[in-house]
Chain A
Amino acid sequence: DAKTTQPTSMDCAEGRAANLPCNHSTISGNEYVYWYRQIHSQGPQYIIHGLKNNETNEMASLIITEDRKSSTLILPHATLRDTAVYYCIVIGGKNSGYALNFGKGTSLLVTP
């Protein structure tokens, strides 16, 4: 699976958009980009995933660059409850089990 690089931490003011970047320059053509988050003392929670096109759901938007070497997760109106560790994960292709390689993620702090 392709390795991802994320900033260690970010801050965002409540009500503003939170833009979380992820670099995955070695991604293969059949690998997906997944985002999960983990709120303190809870299990990880799925947010969104995509292959090539930008995706949007009720939680967030995922913007994938045309060369697919990087992506951005956008939380359009961050709330205090969005404070969590956000993981960008690339999986698929030859990975038979689709096990998730979480890395260390980005710790997002949403402030009042």
Chain B
Amino acid sequence: DTGVSQNPRHKITKRGQNVTFRCDPISEHNRLYWYRQTLGQGPEFLTYFQNEAQLEKSRLLSDRFSAERPKGSFSTLEIQRTEQGDSAMYLCASKIDPGAEAFFGQGTRLTVV
């Protein structure tokens, strides 16, 4: 197992376009998290899944954001009608149970121009 994988690593898009990111967690990790990180700040929680169920969403997750985790495996994060303020690093993490350590991917860096 090579750890949490995120694709693409970098994405440049024009304002107003839709983008989708993918996260492949470590096998058998039933919990999956999405975070957003802007320059100079720590990562901020967006949402998390337990298996295929999305159990918690942050207030940061506006209506333009949607996340899915079909069949409890990989997850996608879609941003519709991107804005310049969406430019950030989007991080995915997975863990096997509530108290365990979380493993993070390398992130997807989004630039909205």
Tell me whether A42 and B106 are in contact (CB under 8 A). Answer: yes
Complex contact B42–A105 (CB within 8 A):
yes
**Which stretch, A62-70, A72-80, A95-103, touches the partner chain B?**
A95-103
| Also in contact, A100 and B55, with CB within 8 A (given A43-B4, A43-B107, A87-B42) | no
Partner of A44, one of B43, B45, B50, B95: B43
Instruction: Give chain B's interface residue range (CB within 8 Å of chain A).
Output: 20 to 34
| Nearest chain A CB to B90 CB, angstrom units | 11
**B102, CB-defined interface residue at 8 Å:** yes
Closest to A101 in B: B45
Chain A residues whose C-beta falls within 8 Å of the C-beta of B41 in the assembled complex: 104
Cβ–Cβ contact A96 & B55, under 8 A: yes
The distance in angstroms between the C-alpha atoms of A45 and B101, with both chains bound, is: 9
Interface of A is mostly: loop
**Contact residues on A (Cβ < 8 Å of other chain), bracket:** 20 to 34
Within 8 Å CB of A21, what residues of B? none
Closest CB of chain B to A27's CB: distance in Å?
16
Question: Hey, what's the 0/1 contact readout for A20-42 against B, CB within 8 Å counting as 1?
Answer: 00000000000010100010001
Determine the chain B residues whose CB is within 8 A of the CB of A34 once the complex forms.
Answer: 101
Known contacts A43-B105, A45-B104, A92-B99, A102 near B4 by CB under 8 Å: no
A110 within 8 A of B: no
Q: In the A-B complex, list the 6 residue pairs whose CB atoms are closest, starting with the nearest.
A: A102-B42, A43-B104, A46-B101, A99-B45, A97-B56, A97-B48
Give me the interface of A with B, judged by CB distance under 8 Å: 32, 34, 38, 42-46, 49, 85, 87, 92, 96-105
Instruction: Give residues in B with beta carbon < 8 Å to A.
Output: 4, 31, 33, 35, 40-45, 48, 50, 55-56, 58, 91, 93, 95, 98-99, 101-107
Pairs across A and B, CB under 8 Å, 23 listed: A43-B91, A43-B93, A43-B104, A44-B91, A44-B102, A46-B102, A46-B103, A49-B101, A85-B42, A96-B55, A96-B56, A97-B48, A98-B95, A98-B99, A99-B33, A99-B48, A99-B58, A100-B33, A100-B43, A102-B42, A102-B44, A104-B40, A105-B42
